[in-house]
Amino acid sequence: MKPLFIVFEGIDGSGTTTISKLISKEINSEWDKEPTDSEIGIIIRGILSEHKPINPITLLQLFIADRANHQDKINKFLKSGKSIVLDRYIPSTLAYQGITFEINDLYNLNKNFIKPDIVFYLDISPEVGMERKKKQKGTLELYEDIDVLKKVYEKHIFSFQFLQKEGWNIYFIDANRSIDEIKKEVLNKLKEFYNAI
C-alpha cells in the first residue's frame, strides 16, 4: 500500500493530539508533531507556554525553520514505505499566524514543503475547545484564550478554502462527538481514500 502523509488539524482542544495518536496506532504508522521536539521546536514550545514576548516575524520564522528541518524526517519515512501521521502542520501556520500575516505571504513561505495526502480538520467551537483545555491542565498557553481561539477558528476555515483551491485534500470531521466515534469516521475515510487511489 502507498505510504500516506496524514495531518490532523483543529483549534486547541479539538483533539489533534489524542486522535492523531490513536489513528497512527491503528494504521501502524509513524507519528510526529509540529512544533517538533528539535532544538527549534523546544524554543517555540517555551515561547508559547511561558507567553514570552516575541516579535511575530521571529515566531513565524521559527515555525518555518522547524518545519524545514522536519522535511527530511517526513521524506525518509515515506520513502521507506511507512505512512506518517502528524499532529499539526502547514494549516496551523496559516490559521495561527494568519491572525497577523496575509495568507498569500504565509502560503509562499510553505509552498516548497511536502503536501500531505490528507488533512483531517477536527471541527469544534472555540467554547468547547477552551472547556477541554481548562479541564486538561491548570495553565493555558499563548493561544488558549477564547478571543484568540475565535480568531484562529475563523482563520482555519478561511485557510482551508484557500488550500482546497491549491489542490489540498481536506476532510471536515465533527469533533464534538466521542473519541471513539471520531476515530471510526477517520478510519472509514482513510479506507475510502485507499480504495480511491
Name residue, grid cell 517555540: 44
- By CB under 6 A, tell whether 132 contacts ligand ADP: yes
- Interface pick for ligand ADP out of 75, 100, 136, 169 (rule CB under 6 A): 136
CA 171/CA 89 separation, integer angstroms: 15
15 is a site residue for ligand ADP (CB under 6 A): yes
Cβ distance to ligand ADP smaller for residue 78 or 88: 88
Give the angle 17-86-79 at the CA atoms, nearest 5°. 155
* Binding-residue pattern over the window 168 to 197 for ligand ADP, x denoting contact by CB under 6 A: -------x--xx--x---------------
The label of the residue with cell 479539538 reads 14
Contact between 118 and ligand ADP by CB under 6 A: the answer reads no
d(CA 6, CA 39): 24
Residue closer to ligand ADP, measured from CB, 14 or 159: 14
The answer to whether residues 24 and 30 touch, using CB atoms and an 8 Å cutoff, is: yes
Residue nearest to ligand ADP as judged by C-beta position: 15
CA distance 159 to 161: 5
Nine cell digits for residue 68:
524545514
Query: What value does the CA radius of gyration of the chain take, rounded to a whole number of Å?
Result: 16
Among 5, 6, 7, 12, binds ligand ADP (CB under 6 A): 12
- Least separation in angstroms between residue 185's CB and ligand ADP is 11
Footprint on this chain of ligand ADP (rule: CB under 6 A): 10, 12-18, 132, 136, 175, 178-179, 182
